[in-house]
Structure 1
């Protein structure tokens, strides 16, 4: 399957482009419908983003 993330407006962070790239790098079995596959990928992506955001520590210097 080939995936393309779309948004209603242009996002400043480019999340749709990241999701598209992430989705197309995933392996899924052929038994998934396109809707099931998209839902599974978005769920995986969301968990990965949450995990990575939790690891970030932003420091400010003056």
Structure 2
């Protein structure tokens, strides 16, 4: 295995870990919106953005709702 391949793999793993950590943090922050008023406020905020921009947040909220 070449040095470039190992470096590429390590970089890829580091990016995946960082992404996973960021998603976990986002999920925790979204879970703090618990009351109906807070959820409504969150919905209004998300309404300012396109579906593509909010897809990850929507997926997290759907998982949390179940």
Q: TM-score, normalised by structure 1?
A: 0.42
Higher alpha-carbon Rg: 2
Structure number with the higher helix fraction is: 2
